[in-house]
Structure 1
Amino acid sequence: MSWYRYDETNNLVLTLHIQTRAKTTEAVGLHGDALKIKLAAAPVEGKANLVLIRFLATKFDVPIGQVILKQGDKSRHKIIMIHRPMHGPSALFNILQG
């Protein structure tokens, strides 16, 4: 199983493992069947979820409203749907695309 897939309407669905209280917010690699993302936020009053959603919106070049937390509101394991992303999953990594 992969950490990402596209649904029947071509939305990107991500399976994520979240580590909070990091120095920087970044994707760091695989954690089982999920992509591990470190967040520079504490898991208090939804702050970490908001940081995650803003991070993903920026990486995929979409408005915040197009990043939807489907599962895992209070969990490290999250399922996120990105409605009509402008970029593919490689956008989470700082890869130069030609």
Structure 2
Amino acid sequence: MGERALSAAWWRRRADGSVELAIRVHLGAKRTDVVGELGDELKVRVASPPVDGKANAALVRFLASQLGVPMRDVTVVRGESSRSKLVAVRVDVDPSVLVTKGGP
């Protein structure tokens, strides 16, 4: 993690201590997992369909699980109906663990 974690373009620490994650969602996967970094976004495959907010809920559930926080601490701030999303997470850990942890 070290230096690379500090320069990850897909996340930044906010003034309130939470982090913002720039996520690129790919739908229709067999399972939800992190694919890797894609430019300035983190590419995440989501198994749930984009119907009635199910894909967003699956993304929030996955991120909460991987970062060890309650789901209430993960919020889609921008891009609820887009593949590119900005997600805010109240977390103390370095979010680059998502890249090293991978899937569930």
TM-score (norm 2): 0.84
SS at match of 1:89: coil
**Percent identity over the alignment?**
36
* Distance in structure 1 (CA, Å) of the matches to 2:37 and 2:93: 19
Unaligned runs of 5+ in 2: 1-7
Task: Please identify runs of 4+ aligned residues in structure 1 that moved more than 3 A.
Answer: none
Return the match for 1:45 from 14, 28, 52: 52
Return the match for 1:87 from 80, 93, 98: 93
What one-letter code is carried by the residue in structure 1 that aligns with 2:57? Answer: L
SS at match of 1:5: strand
Number of positions where the alignment pairs a residue of Structure 1 with one of Structure 2: 94
Q: Which residue of 2 aligns with 1:29?
A: 36
Unaligned runs of 5+ in 1: none
CA RMSD of aligned residues (A): 1.5
Pick which of 25-34 and 12-21 moved more: 25-34
What one-letter code is carried by the residue in structure 1 that aligns with 2:22? Answer: T
Deviation at 1:94, TM superposition (A): 1.9
User: 1:51-92 CA deviation, whole Å, 9 max, x = no partner?
Assistant: 000001111111111001100000000000001x14221331
**Mapping of 1:71-86 within 5 angstroms?**
71-83=78-90, 85-86=91-92
